[in-house]
Chain A
Amino acid sequence: MTAGTPDPLIEVAGISKQFRTRSGDDVVALSEIALAIPVREFVTIVGPSGCGKSTLLRLIAGLVAPSTGRVRIAGAPVSGPRRDIGMVFQVPVLLPWRTVLKNVLVPAEVIGLERRAAAARAHELLELVGLGGFADKYPSELSGGMRQRVAIARALMHDPAILLMDEPFGALDAMSREAMNLELLRIWDASRKTIVLVTHSIEEAVFLADRVVVISARPGRVSDVVEVRLARPRTAKTRSEPEFVRIAERLRGHFEMVQAA
């Protein structure tokens, strides 16, 4: 097991996950994954496509059950989906018939939060993600980056301790992506959440993280864990610092090995 702080918020212990394909073969998606994530840490998980990193996120979220091993959150085993987690998916998953505000309010509605307090909080969150003037717009009126911001505001609505993000900026162009990375760090700083973010972009993984977890493909195994000691707040210049370049190189090495294999 990875040595972490004594009381990790998220503890993944000896997780394996097998899937049975339609043709009846067993595919090992994840094998013997162990991770300990303390409160307020920003962890990124990077790996080639098909390495099971999205599955790992779903296991932590309780949306998928592991074949062996166990996930604990704040010491308690995860047995199903839970409300102290906010999810951001690869696509924004907005409801097109609801305004931006009503989309952000979905978790409040499901959980049954008091309406006026919830609406006030939703407005605050929209300010936080930089969409203050867009509460009454419909998703079809927004750009891809703006929609994903709405999804982030929605994930924060019920004030979960943990934010799980599955390649949230994968569909954005490079420029919006870098802008969203800065935004996300600002939001993380303001909201004091523990974030686990899955990405296949090495740059993004290093830029955001306190710690980068590298997962290899088939079966998905933790092949490296890298501490990122770059100063915060990070800016566009962070990407050209020698430390950034060094870590990015190291991570890239893993994927070149994968390709060679």
Chain B
Amino acid sequence: MTSPGRIDRATAPSIGAERSAQRSAVPVSTVGRSSRPRRRRLDSAYLYLAPAGLLLGFVFLYPTLQSVWLAFQRNKGINDPGRFTGIDNFVKLWNDPLFWKITGQTFLWTVGVVAITTVLSYLLALILVQQFRGKAIFRTLVILPAATSLALSAVVWGFAFQPANLVNHTLALFGPTKGGIAWLANVPQAWVALIFVGICVSVPLTGVMLAAAMRSVPRELYEASSIDGASRVSQTLRITLPLTRTMLLITTLANFVVAFNSFPIIFVMTGGGPVNRTDILATWLYQKGFQLLDFGMASTLAVVVLGVLLVLSLFYVHLLIHRTKVG
């Protein structure tokens, strides 16, 4: 990570001097910047970051501050000037049994999706690093869900999960099912359906990333260990798994954040229903904000969601750095 920068720092002054000496003789694209090499170096780095910085500031920084501001207000909708109520919103949220119920559901959903996705993706990655006939087609087919709009996938899955539709029909081909299961009409089966779809859309990319990590494990390790008589299974457990641990931790964290924040699947398939039983914090927040127009409470919820994620992620990143240093 540091080597290009270091080379640059070491060589920049002399080259800079050389360059400005040359520039007076040969006018190349000067982009109208100061001719003092040191200052220009500093200024321009920030100039290059400016477009990205402005965009991120406009979309992330300012709205986050706004959210925090709104979280302490009673604010009912776009035309309400708002009134400060201190920590009232937070107290109300804390005392709301529905908040705790939905928080529980959020963790059920997140852990369910992430845990099963991780296991299945690892299996998929193990397949993706094998050679077999038709692999190119397999690779292409299996990655498709990663490129498909979540909203469209959710519409299609929601259709297929209707009681008299293709999911039940397909299940019936494999064995007798008692009538059609009304997948999305009630819990717990609605959670089974939602988590299933959540897994289907996150496995492809995770599998491809893990496969990339597996390919970067030096071949020689496998060759050496098979000379020592190690079986494929023990090679997988003793070589592949430890050496892909970093990527495994990265993808798990990424999937955790994505699932925790996930919106389109639940919003489209059940809308959080029946009566909030398939809501997670993200979909509940949307209802509060844009269906009940309670901007104050919704912002309070947004601040809580961000806080929880930040704490969990920092903890996880700490763990990750610690672990990989040891490993």
Task: Indicate whether A and B interact.
Answer: no
| Residues of B bordering A, CB below 8 Å | none
| Residues of A bordering B, CB below 8 Å | none
